[in-house]
A and B are shown apart, each in its own frame.
Chain A
Amino acid sequence: DAGITQSPRHKVTETGTPVTLRCHQTENHRYMYWYRQDPGHGLRLIHYSYGVKDTDKGEVSDGYSVSRSKTEDFLLTLESATSSQTSVYFCAIRAPGQGKYEQYFGPGTRLTVT
């Protein structure tokens, strides 16, 4: 158990509304990631963070923003949700150590945009 929680676990929202998903870790790891998973696609990286206030874009970052004001929390915001953002969102942390690039994932948030 890598101590990763995501909230909410399920959310239904309407098109055009803002949505914030939270990822919380208890292990004090530096690297955190947000992915989305859709049928027919592998996990796709949205944004990642390599420290407090240090974030960078992944391959599908359009329409998403992130913030990391504390080591333990990584927030993903959809400023104005669209139906194409209906997906399962996973947060992950990366274990440190030379040659060790294991990522540990949270339970996921299922987001439906109607």
Chain B
Amino acid sequence: DAKTTQPNSMESNEEEPVHLPCNHSTISGTDYIHWYRQLPSQGPEYVIHGLTSNVNNRMASLAIAEDRKSSTLILHRATLRDAAVYYCILSDAGNNRKLIWGLGTSLAVNP
């Protein structure tokens, strides 16, 4: 199974952009890249996903490298509510699209 590598922790200031990196050098051609986040004491929450092209939604942007071996989740203006653990995940290429979770990046946002 393809795995992802993320920094254990990052820190940002409120209202500044945050770039959360993820390496997935063994990604296969059919694997989607997903980002989830988990706020304290809550279940994970879907953020964004992509395959090859960059993606934007109301929560964040996803920048995918041309060779797909890395990606970056971009929060355009961090708020205190964005403090969470962010998971970069590849979907299993099989029929049932299981998600393979790592330990994620714990993001702290300073006021």
Contacts and interface: CB of A to CB of B under 8 A. Distances in A.
A18 interface: no
A43 B96 contact: no
A40 B51 CA distance: 28
Contact of A42 (B32, B34, B103): B103
Contacts of A50: 96
A99 B99 contact: no
Interface residues of B, number: 20
Interface residues of A, number: 26
A31 B96 contact: yes
B17 interface: no
Interface in A23-78: 31, 33, 35, 40-45, 48, 50, 56, 58
Interface stretch (B20-28, B42-50, B66-74, B75-83): B42-50
A107 B44 CA distance: 9
Interface in B85-111: 87, 91, 96-99, 101-104
A37 to B, nearest CB: 9
A90 B43 contact: yes
B46 A104 contact: yes
Contacts of A33: 98
A104 B47 CA distance: 11
Given A31-B96, A94-B97, A42 B43 contact: no
Interface of B: 32, 34, 36, 42-46, 49, 51, 87, 91, 96-99, 101-104
Given A56-B96, A94-B97, A100-B49, 16 more contacts: A31-B96, A42-B103, A43-B44, A43-B101, A48-B96, A48-B98, A58-B98, A90-B43, A90-B44, A99-B51, A101-B34, A101-B97, A101-B99, A103-B44, A106-B43, A107-B42
